[in-house]
Amino acid sequence: MRISSTEQVREEFSDIYRQTYPRIRAYFRRRVNKELVDDLTAETFARAWRKWHSRKGEPMPWIYGIAHHVVLEAYRANPPQLFDDLSFMSAYSEDIADEVSTSVDIYRALRRLSETDREILTLHAWEGLEPKELAEVLQVGGTQARVRLHRARKRLAQGVKNSESY
């Protein structure tokens, strides 16, 4: 029994959806108010489905690229409150009492960065994307992605250093 090409496409998309849905939803949870997370996640996968036949490269960075554009559109429509609260930081700290000062300094430094710097840093640190994948998401060359990541890290480090001096 042969499987039609339409069924193969559906199956392929379904597999990628199952693999990427939790990561894309987490991507939005870290970027927008909780009321928008489900809508933006759904919009991302709806666009991915519509453009599935024309995608280039690996599915994961391609879908992150769509999510990146969806979140930018949401930011333009309603300038963001970056996070609902700081509760997400506890997940990154074993002993929050000892590290809360550092977490707040990092949070403040992140907020002062440009949207572009924040995005490349969080795609790398939180989403685990490597420079090659960052290049696909941001639609730039690999060298440019590495340079942007390096410069964003330097600006973040300087921002943290400045926060510590207050």
Cβ atoms of 147 and 132 closer than 8 Å: no
CA distance 26 to 20: 10
CA-only gyration radius of the chain, Å: 18
47-101 pLDDT tens trace? 999 999 888 888 999 999 999 999 888 887 776 554 444 454 555 445 544 455 5
Cβ atoms of 52 and 20 closer than 8 Å: no
pLDDT number for residue 37:
93
Domain coordinates of the chain in residue numbers? 1-82, 85-166
How is domain 1-82 classified at the architecture level of CATH? Orthogonal Bundle (1.10)
For the chain, what percent of residues have pLDDT higher than 70? 80
Assigned CATH topology for domain 85-166:
Arc Repressor Mutant, subunit A (1.10.10)
CA distance 22 to 39: 14
104-163 pLDDT tens trace? 677 778 888 888 898 888 888 888 889 999 998 888 999 999 999 999 999 888 888 887
